[in-house]
Amino acid sequence: MSTTELAWFKSSYSGSQGDSCVEVAVTEQAVHVRDSKDVTRPDFAVGREGWSRFVEFAAEI
């Protein structure tokens, strides 16, 4: 699946302008992340387990 076919979404915590956040798309294999201000730049992908660990860490701080 190409990244243009992914279902991207922004955090509900994004600013009122909606331009200062990242977008995320989830597949069975990975979580893709991209800059919402410039969606033409390459995204990066991390395994679902790694993403889960990141979210758990971020929730602690």
- Convert the pLDDT of each residue in 17-55 to its tens digit: 656 688 999 999 999 999 888 888 999 999 999 999 999
Q: Are 26 and 49 in contact (CB under 8 A)?
A: no
pLDDT at 21: 83
Instruction: Give residue 10's pLDDT band: very low, low, confident or very high (50, 70, 90).
Output: confident
Q: Is the pTM of this model over 0.85?
A: no
CA dihedral 35, 11, 15, 50 (to 10 degrees): -60
Has residue 57 got a pLDDT over 70?
A: yes
